[in-house]
Amino acid sequence: MTKVRPKVRVPKTAKVGDVVKIKTLISHRMESGIRKDKKGNVIPRDIIQSFEAQFEGEPFFSVDMHPAISADPYFAFYFKVPGSGEFTFIWRDEKGQNWSLKRKLAVS
């Protein structure tokens, strides 16, 4: 299995009130649990079920995912800048494992 690796793209600087675009991606196979291998055995389900974006600890965007989200879940969404601060991005799978990333935003 390939390593699960999250990535985000956020601007480093912005002005207060700007609406900025955030792009996130996490490498994950999102195994639906209904595919079968060559021998006909069901490949066990393994999906990331939630994603949350926080700014200064306050969640502002989240996703509930189901198996119909493609492998390597990608999201692009928007954020209205209230001031300088730090983003936290968290992904969680169904087994309780999680991955996170932090990014700083400075208001110019």
Residue 82 phi, psi dihedral angles, 5° rounding: -90, -15
Where b means 16+ CB within 10 Å and e means fewer, 13-35 reads ebeeeeeeebebebebebbeeee
Least Cβ distance, residue 77 to other proteins (angstroms): 5
* Token duo for residue 26: 């996490």
* 10-69 positions binding other proteins, by CB under 8 A: 19-20, 32-36, 45, 49, 55, 58-69
> Does 92 sit near other proteins (CB under 8 A)?
no
Q: Do residues 61 and 91 lie in contact, with contact meaning Cβ atoms separated by under 8 Å?
A: no
> Does 107 sit near other proteins (CB under 8 A)?
no
Least Cβ distance, residue 73 to other proteins (angstroms): 7
List interacting residues with other proteins (CB under 8 A): 19-20, 32-36, 45, 49, 55, 58-80, 82, 94
